[in-house]
Amino acid sequence: MIRYFFLMVLLYFCNVFDLKMLYSSPYILAIESSCDDTAAAVLKGRRILSNCIANQNVHKAYGGVVPELASRAHQSNIVPVVEQALKKAKINKKDLNAIGYTQGPGLMGSLLVGNAFAKSLSLGLDIPLLDVHHMQAHLLVHFIDDSRVSTPEFPFIGVTLSGGHTQLVWVESHLKMSVIGSTLADAIGEAFDKCGKVMGLAYPSGPEIDRLAQTGNPNRFDFPIPKVSGYDVSYSGVKTAFLNFINKNTNKDADFIEKNRNDLCASLQKTLIQIILLKIEQTVTDRKTFRVAIGGGVSANSEMRRQLQKLAQEKGWSVHLPPLDYTTDNAAMIGITAYFKYQKKLFGSLKTVPKARLAF
Ligand code: KG4
Ligand code: ZN
Q: How far is the CA of 225 from the centre of ligand 1 (A)?
A: 21
State residue 355's pLDDT score. 75
Distance 296 CA to ligand 1 centre (A): 7
Closest CA to 197 of 236, 252, 249, 242: 242
Distance CA 354, CA 110 (A): 10
The residues that bridge with 43 in the sheet, in sequence order, are: 28, 48
| Full strand arrangement of the beta sheet holding 37-44 | 47-55, 37-44, 27-32, 98-104, 129-133
Is the distance from the beta carbon of residue 192 to the nearest atom of ligand 1 less than 6 Å?
yes
**Residue 52: pLDDT over 60:** yes
CB 336 within 8 A of CB 137: yes
Domains of the chain: residue spans and CATH: 22-142+328-343 (3.30.420.40), 151-321 (3.30.420.40)
For the Cβ of 328 lying below 6 angstroms from any atom of ligand 1, the answer is yes
**Rounded to an integer, what distance in angstroms lies between the CA atom of residue 27 and that of residue 337?**
13
pLDDT tens for residues 109-155?
A: 999 999 999 999 999 999 999 999 999 999 999 999 999 999 999 99
Q: How far is the CA of 173 from the centre of ligand 2 (A)?
A: 20
The pTM score is 0.92
Model confidence over 265-282: pLDDT tens digits? 999 999 999 999 999 999
Q: Specify the ligand 1 atom closest to the Cα of 163.
A: 7
Rounded distance, CA 47 to CA 31, Å?
A: 16
Residue 209, CA distances (Å) to 73, 77, 195, 197, 259 in order = 26, 28, 9, 10, 15
Reading across the β-sheet that carries 318-320, which strands appear in turn? Answer: 177-182, 166-171, 156-161, 291-295, 318-320
| Best residue among 35, 56, 162, 197 to mutate for probing ligand 1, ranked by most atoms within 8 Å of CB | 162
Q: Please check whether residue 71 is in contact with residue 107, taking contact to mean a CB–CB distance below 8 angstroms.
A: yes
pLDDT at 260 over 70: yes
Rounded distance from Cα 148 to ligand 1 centre (Å): 20
Nearest ligand for residue 300 CA: 1
Average pLDDT over residues 200-222: 97
Mean pLDDT of the chain: 93
